[in-house]
Structures are given as structure tokens and as C-alpha cells.
Amino acid sequence: MKIHEYQAKDLLARHGVSVPRSRMVTKLGDVKGAAEELGGKVVVKAQIHAGGRGKGRVVEGQGKTAAMFKRLETKPRQNEGGVRGSRVGGVRLASNPERAVAEARKILGKYLVTHQTGIAGKKVQRLLIEEQVTIADEYYAAVLIDNALGQAVLIVSSEGGQAIEEVAAKNPKAIVRLPIDPHDGLPPYKAREFAKSVLKMPHATILQAGALFSGLYDAFLASDATMVEINPFVVTRENRVIAADAKVSLDDNAAFRQPFASLRDTSEEDAMDLLAEESGIGSYIKLEGNIGCMVNGAGLAMATLDTITQAGGAPANFLDIGTVNRVERVVDALRIINMDKDVKAILVNIFGGMARVDIIAEGVIAGVRELRLKQPIVLRLNGSNLEEGLALLAESGLEFITADDLGSAARKAVAAARDA
């Protein structure tokens, strides 16, 4: 689960990380007061669940986002925004409260398109009004899980303020990793030594840098995060060490013991993802193809996606309906698939003794009738009550395409999507 920058900074501040003074606003009328409270010279930042805000571009309506995304992807140097200049993006400098209002007016309620938003962009519904700091140097720091090591690692770089992927590609030696022993954690003395020996930070900043690294790990641990990133953390001209930006992703599996509900912004989430969650379908991922998939079991779903691709098609989603024996769940799954306007055909692949084919068939029939589905539906069914399920399909009077094995089902689905 992603959270906004202002929420991430609040989390870090609670663990001793120094952050700029700021206020989050949702109304244009609150911008001037926030800027005055912060001293006048502020940064106006769009709050969306996507990175690259500074290089993104703001457009008036969602109808213009796809074209802007294409321009960013094909000719980034000509189209990317910036913090200042003629092509300003979702992060803007303001020298006084009046200028802050003017800049906020250009962002709030508009759509921000970045390399990470996709063609739909993100509607800006929140702004972070933050004090400006005088930056002398920029660094990168993050704590995340290294699956190969099976433990958390601190990752730092002296080349902050740019995408870490670009740093890794251009200068991989600039990225240094420190595995964190889960028993010892990251005590301040070890963090200070790391700042001194690895980043070669100014002597006057070592204590603060050590506190930042330790606080970063403490926040990671306490919040059940999968990643806590500061890009950049800066050294100011006054030798203050401050987290100028922050990004945090939280582990959904810890929701039972974390106050995630208060941090979650469902307006930033995909409508189909939310419907899947509400329907009890925990595994739904939108893909870029045109063949909708409903499968029981994650492994089978992966195999189904691979087989569709091998047959020359492109899956539109990953949807694991699980071991379900409820008609309503099948209808809900079809409803989610049907919400995707790219879907030209639907492949239902059910396999296993615990799945009752008669209930799956009943759900598919109910879904076609209730949702008035027009897409051709390919059914590969194998499980308990198979004969009863096939009889229901035959008696329904509806047209279905059936297949005995996955390979045949995939080929038929690809052909159906092509002819639709």
C-alpha cells in the first residue's frame, strides 16, 4: 500500500528524521495561509501515488493524459517538466504567498502525468505546501528488503535528487548497500560511521546523518513497510540534514496490526482493484492485453497468462478467484473483467477437485445475463460435478466456446479476441 509524501514525512518525523515544515491542503483557499505560516517562500507539491512528479506535466483534463504520456515516453527531453522554467511540472517554487496561490491554481484539480502514472495520469486532489530549504548537496537513502539476503538493507548514494535506476545504470559504484542485522538493528553509532566512511559527508553533519539513517530503519520496522525511501535527503547551507522528499510503501499483510485504514487514499487506487477487494477477490492485477482471465489458483493463473502469450495473445488481467463455490463470486469476477474496456474475449480456466464446476457454470450463466456480456467466453472446466456443470451450460441457451485443455482454450480465446 502506497501513502502520500506528507504522510511519509509525518511517519519519519515520529522516528527522529528531520523534515521541512509543511502543511497539506485540499482547498485553494487554504494555500495562502499555509504559505504565510511557513514564511512565504515555499514549494508547492502535488500529492499523488506516483513518482517523477517534478518531471511530470500537468494537463487540464483526463482526455489529454494519454497524449501527454506518449510524448513523455517517446521524447522525454523535449516534454518533461521541471521545478522551474517554461515546462514546470507537479513540483513548483513560490517566492511569496501570492505566487504560491497562483502555482497551486495551476495544479490542484488538474491531472498530472508522469512516467509512473500510465496513460490515465493522476488527478491532483491534495497539495503539500512546504518551506523552501537552501540546498548545498543531495543524497539518496532507502531501507528495503533484499529477498536474496532475507533481511533489510540500507541503500545510500551520493547522487541523490534523481531516479535511482538512472544512477544504477550510469554509475553503479555510486550505490552502496549495508545489510542490517535484524538482532542489532541500525544503532546510531553504526549509522554515523556509514555516513562518514561511505558518503564522506561533512563532519558537521555526521551526527544528523546517523540519526536520519537510524530513524529511517526504525520507521521501516515500526510501520511494517516494504520500502522507505528519501530521495533526496539534503545538506543545507546551514549544515542541516533534512529529508526533502519521502516515499513509503506498506505491507498490506500487516493491516491487522497497523492503522492502515487512516493512511489509505482509495481515490488514488484503481476502481477495479477496489471492487475486487470488496468482493473478496484478493488477487487482481490489470494488464495491457485484451483477453480477460478468470482462474482458480495463482499458479494456474500464471500458467494461463503464459499460455495465452505463447498462443499469440495478450492477457488483460491476472485474476485468481481462488477455491470458490459461490455463484456471487463468479458474477463479481466477471463484473470486474467487464469493467476493462480493452477486453475482447474472456477465458475461464477452472481446474481442480475442490472447484465445483456446476457452481462455476451457474455463476457464468448468471453473469452473462446480469451483465449482458457481449464478449465471446471460452470455458475450460475440470473439477467436481463436471457433467452437471456442462449440462447447465447446454441448457442455458447461451453461446459458449469450450475446450478440453489449456492450450486449446488459449488458442480459441486468442482467435475470439482477434475476430471480435
Output the DSSP codes for 317-346.
EEEE--S---HHHHHHHHHHHHH-TT--EE
Question: Between these two residues, 405 and 354, which has the higher pLDDT value?
Answer: 405
User: What CATH architecture is 270-419?
Assistant: 3-Layer(aba) Sandwich (3.40)
Confidence of residue 282 (pLDDT cuts 50, 70, 90): low
**pLDDT at res. 363:** 95
The number of helix segments (H) and strand segments (E) in the chain equals 15, 19
**Which part of the chain is CATH 3.30.470.20?**
135-263
Average pLDDT over residues 360-381: 96
Average pLDDT over residues 306-314: 97
Give the lowest-confidence range in 164-173, 213-222, 256-265. 164-173
pLDDT above 70 (res 135) = yes
Catalytic residue, from 6, 111, 140, 284: name it. Answer: 140
Q: Considering the entire predicted model, what is its pTM?
A: 0.83
- The candidate with the shortest Cα–Cα distance to 370, out of 402, 342, 328, is 328
Digit-coded pLDDT (tens) for 31-87: 999 999 999 999 999 999 999 999 999 999 999 999 999 999 999 989 999 998 889
CATH classification of 21-131, choosing from 2.60.40.180, 3.20.20.150, 3.30.1490.20, 3.40.50.360? 3.30.1490.20
Q: Is the peptide bond before 232 cis (omega within 30 degrees of 0)?
A: yes
Indicate if the pLDDT at residue 166 is higher than 90: no
What mean pLDDT do residues 347-375 have?
A: 91
Residue 353 binned pLDDT confidence (cut-offs 50, 70, 90): low
Per DSSP, 29 falls in state G
- Say if residue 321's pLDDT is above 80: yes
In this structure, what C-alpha cell is assigned to residue 156?
545510500
pLDDT higher at 272 or 258: 258
Query: Is residue 354 over pLDDT 80?
Result: no
- pLDDT averaged over the chain? 93
Q: Is 140 assigned a catalytic role?
A: yes
Average pLDDT over residues 320-347: 90
Give the model's pLDDT for residue 370.
96
Q: Looking at residue 323, what is its pLDDT?
A: 76
User: What's the CA gap between 53 and 177, in Å, rounded?
Assistant: 26
Nearest-angstrom CA–CA distance, 81 and 57? 5
DSSP state of 364: H
pLDDT of 329 strictly over 70 = yes
CB atoms closer than 10 angstroms to residue 283: 14
- The percentage of residues in the chain with a pLDDT greater than 70, rounded to a whole number, is 100
Residues of each domain in the chain carrying CATH 3.40.50.261: 270-419
With CA atoms as reference, report the closest residue to 17 among 249, 253, 251, 248.
248
Q: Which residues contact 182 (CB under 8 A, 6 or more apart)?
A: 151, 152
State the pLDDT confidence band at 277, using cuts at 50, 70 and 90: confident
CATH 3.30.1490.20 positions along the chain are: 21-131
**Ranges 107-116, 123-132, 346-355: which has the least confidence:** 346-355
Q: Which three cell numbers stand for residue 125?
A: 486532489
229 catalytically annotated: yes
Which of 168, 159, 216, 163 has its CA nearest to residue 190?
216
Note the CATH number of domain 135-263. 3.30.470.20
Catalytic position from the list 217, 229, 284, 362: 229
**Residue 325 binned pLDDT confidence (cut-offs 50, 70, 90):** confident
pLDDT digits (tens, 9 = 90+) for 188-214: 899 999 999 989 999 999 999 999 999
pLDDT at position 152: 95
Helix locations, 356-405, DSSP H: 357-371, 386-395
pLDDT for 230-243, tens place per residue? 999 999 999 999 99
